Chain A
């Protein structure tokens, strides 16, 4: 029998995978996938900052929701910074992403070294957000991350027609009255939320892969959007669960790495199926 905690964690990972698969489809189609890399890395100083503030106020340093909120704020700041740098016209978006990703992450690393010097050992939990560690997730953590992920799925389904219009014919949609900027912002917001939800299980470095791999795999198998979306969610969910199980079975294997390798295996399989 699977222990209750393990079951909840696995379900949380499944929910995350489904959310990443769903949001990732539109992120991929809209060409926004790499922004998830920037937002994920940018979240680290927010998480560490929230932990420091929590330590100062004496709250539970391992409570997940405040850490996720801090991460979300920092991730949003990172997104703003990328757009501001690209707006200068001198720096292309991928260079801007690189600058933001690395310097925000660096700030997080500085913060971690400060936390390390403090008692209460909160640091051990924090560095798990970098590469993910499902095995150390508590039941309440899995609930928090899982609920956030489910929210993203529901929001994606609700915004499906708008996202579809945004990705396939933005100009026509604008003529029909769709507010492109708001819809784009909603997509970016959902990408950010998936990154944040993925922090405990998959980690900030590799969460971008969870957004890209299931969607890319699904696209190889199914060119039409509803089918692609369903396939992406299924593959994402399975990748999340299998990755969590594999990393739990091998001590020292970060969950993020295991999930990405499972996702890559699906991708390679899909490539082979298509070539056949």
Chain B
């Protein structure tokens, strides 16, 4: 038990928080047909994260979140502007913006020397759940011990904080978001601040991308954003089931993926472990495939 708490509890918790948060947001993206935006924002936040890190010299949550928010807003604005200024279709404009932001972020990673202090390309590409350790855990009592809990890795707190914030915001904005998903024109005619809701969604997306990238890396955040929500879309037509089910599926696939990558093989006596973020991504894809094969969407 102590070994599990010290080695696996923190990454498992981080994965589930990332899965739930991204699964929740992903449902809004899928319903609004903005899955590409999820892909774009998760890539576009990289320079913001790196600069937030470089300016403060520390890998603390607040500067990275702030940098990511600025990068996300700048990217969204640029995409809209490019579509007009360069007469590009949406997908091409989005592609240009997020790839150039991501490339800039990669170069900044090297140029600012960020890689020497534990923010490096491997973390971006593969995540680093395996490094989330909790050495202060000693038996199950630690789960109820405030001092021990306070020593959990910072990434877990960031995920918990961002997750809670997003959950609360979603709950408060439940009806407006629902209207935004199904009838934006009607929402505008009712006087809802549609553009501001858009910005709020983008900011939540950026925050989730920052928090989750520490666990699963930039590219696999896309898996958690799009796959559980897509699977739910194939299984249900009901709004509440879609949104809450997306969150639940995200958490479940993250937990199962993590366990299959390391702890389960170890329990079965195998010395081999595979990358946990990768396993989560693979499972999320299989989930969508299973939902597609189930054929439930045909009977709707």
B residues less than 8 Å from A100 (CB atoms) = 285
B residues less than 8 Å from A101 (CB atoms) = 39, 219, 222
Q: Is the CB of A113 within 8 A of B106?
A: no
Say whether, besides A102-B281, A250-B110, A110 and B274 are in contact (CB < 8 Å).
yes
Could you tell me which residues of chain B, from 20 to 74, have a CB within 8 Å of some CB in chain A?
A: 29-30, 33-36, 38-39
- Residue ID in chain B nearest A31 by CB atoms: B89
Q: Is the CB of B226 within 8 A of A95?
A: yes
Q: Is the CB of B36 within 8 A of A98?
A: yes
Q: Is the CB of A114 within 8 A of B219?
A: no
Separation of A84 and B103 alpha carbons in the complex (Å): 31
Q: How far is the CB of A253 from chain B (nearest CB, A)?
A: 5
Q: Is the CB of A98 within 8 A of B35?
A: yes
Q: How far is the CB of B97 from chain A (nearest CB, A)?
A: 9
Give the contacting residue for A209; candidates B100, B121, B219, B282; CB below 8 A: B100
Does chain A have a CB within 8 A of B142? no
Q: Is the CB of B33 within 8 A of A109?
A: no
A residues less than 8 Å from B38 (CB atoms) = 98
Separation of A102 and B33 alpha carbons in the complex (Å): 18
Say whether, besides A94-B36, A109-B220, A114-B272, A84 and B292 are in contact (CB < 8 Å).
yes
Which secondary structure dominates chain A's binding surface? helix
Q: Which one of B169-177, B190-198, B227-235 contacts A?
A: B227-235
Q: How far is the CB of A196 from chain B (nearest CB, A)?
A: 18
Q: Is the CB of A102 within 8 A of B285?
A: yes
Q: Is the CB of B282 within 8 A of A107?
A: yes
Could you tell me which residues of chain B, from 126 to 142, have a CB within 8 Å of some CB in chain A?
A: 126
Does chain A have a CB within 8 A of B146? no
Could you tell me which residues of chain A, from 96 to 122, have a CB within 8 Å of some CB in chain B?
A: 96-114, 117
Say whether, besides A107-B278, A253-B107, A89 and B297 are in contact (CB < 8 Å).
yes
Separation of A88 and B220 alpha carbons in the complex (Å): 24
Total contacting residues, chain B, CB less than 8 A = 58
Q: Is the CB of B234 within 8 A of A205?
A: no
Query: Contact mask B66-105 → A, CB, 8 Å, 1/0?
Result: 0000000000000000000110110110111001101110
Q: How far is the CB of B282 from chain A (nearest CB, A)?
A: 5
B residues less than 8 Å from A251 (CB atoms) = 110
- Residue ID in chain A nearest B273 by CB atoms: A113
Does chain A have a CB within 8 A of B210? no
**CB contacts between A and B, total, < 8 Å:** 198
Say whether, besides A85-B288, A103-B227, A257 and B107 are in contact (CB < 8 Å).
yes
Separation of A37 and B43 alpha carbons in the complex (Å): 13
Does chain B have a CB within 8 A of A254? yes
Q: Pick from B35, B103, B281, B286 the residue with the most CB of A within 10 Å.
A: B103
A residues less than 8 Å from B284 (CB atoms) = 99, 102-103, 106
Say whether, besides A212-B95, A260-B99, A110 and B234 are in contact (CB < 8 Å).
no
Q: Pick from B38, B223, B226, B261 the residue with the most CB of A within 10 Å.
A: B226
Query: Interface on A for B, CB 8 Å cutoff?
Result: 28, 31, 33-34, 37, 41, 81, 84-85, 88-92, 94-114, 117, 127, 130-131, 205-206, 208-209, 212-213, 216, 219-220, 250-254, 256-258, 260-261, 263-264, 267, 271, 275
30 chain-A/chain-B pairs, Cβ below 8 angstroms: A33-B92, A90-B234, A91-B233, A97-B36, A98-B38, A98-B223, A98-B225, A100-B285, A102-B226, A102-B284, A106-B277, A106-B280, A107-B281, A109-B125, A109-B275, A109-B277, A110-B275, A131-B106, A131-B125, A208-B95, A209-B99, A209-B100, A212-B92, A212-B99, A216-B92, A220-B86, A253-B107, A256-B103, A257-B104, A257-B107
**When A and B form their complex, which 5 residue pairs have the shortest distance between CB atoms, in order from nearest?**
A106-B281, A103-B285, A109-B278, A102-B223, A95-B35
Query: Interface on B for A, CB 8 Å cutoff?
Result: 29-30, 33-36, 38-39, 85-86, 88-89, 91-92, 94-96, 99-100, 102-104, 106-107, 110, 115, 121, 125-126, 219-220, 222-223, 225-227, 229-230, 233-234, 261, 272-275, 277-282, 284-286, 288-289, 292, 297
Q: A33-B91, A114-B272, A258-B103 are in contact. List 7 more A-B contacts (CB 8 A).
A: A33-B95, A95-B233, A99-B284, A104-B285, A205-B102, A212-B92, A261-B103
